[in-house]
């Protein structure tokens, strides 16, 4: 089965990996000619990490992650205790914040999804009407 995914965002590349791991031929269509840094970080919540773990991407993401610090109020009270929000399996764990979005995105998601897995072929539009070659 051939699967075409439109857009090269993190969720769609993760979807490409999932289809590829199940034996599908995957093609990703992306408007951008290349992926570059956008100057933003990326927060991945525990359920997102669980999904990336299922795809075999979680450990590499954790290795490149920066741990978030607890959010404290003006008088030093913890504002958002993570263990209360996500269940006992996340007690004592904090949400991961991935800095340098472009670097992490390229190094981890693209390498694993597109290069290592050979899961997809990126193509760019021919003109502003977004026709694909």
| Stated pTM of the model | 0.51
Which tens digits make up the pLDDT trace of 54-95? 888 888 877 777 666 555 555 555 555 544 444 555 555 544
Answer for the pair 48, 98: CB distance below 8 angstroms, yes or no: no
Q: Where are the domains of the chain?
A: 2-123
Residue 116 carries which DSSP code?
A: I
**Can you give the pLDDT at residue 1?**
93
Q: Which residues contact 82 (CB under 8 A, 6 or more apart)?
A: 46, 90, 93, 94, 95
Q: Which fold has domain 2-123?
A: FAD/NAD(P)-binding domain (3.50.50)
Provide the CA 64 distance to its chain's centre, in angstroms.
12
């Amino acid at each position: 089965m051939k699967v075409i995914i439109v857009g090269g965002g993190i969720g769609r590349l993760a979807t490409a990996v999932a289809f590829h791991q199940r034996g599908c031929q995957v093609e990703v269509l992306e408007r951008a000619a290349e992926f570059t840094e956008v100057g933003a970080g990326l927060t991945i919540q525990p359920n997102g990490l669980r999904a990336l773990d299922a795809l075999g991407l979680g450990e590499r993401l954790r290795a490149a992650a920066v741990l978030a610090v607890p959010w404290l109020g003006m008088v030093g009270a913890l504002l958002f205790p993570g263990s209360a929000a996500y269940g006992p399996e996340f007690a004592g764990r904090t949400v991961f914040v991935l800095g340098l979005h472009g670097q992490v995105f390229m190094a981890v998601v693209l390498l694993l999804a597109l290069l290592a897995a050979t899961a997809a072929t990126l193509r760019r539009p021919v003109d502003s009407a977004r026709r694909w070659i």
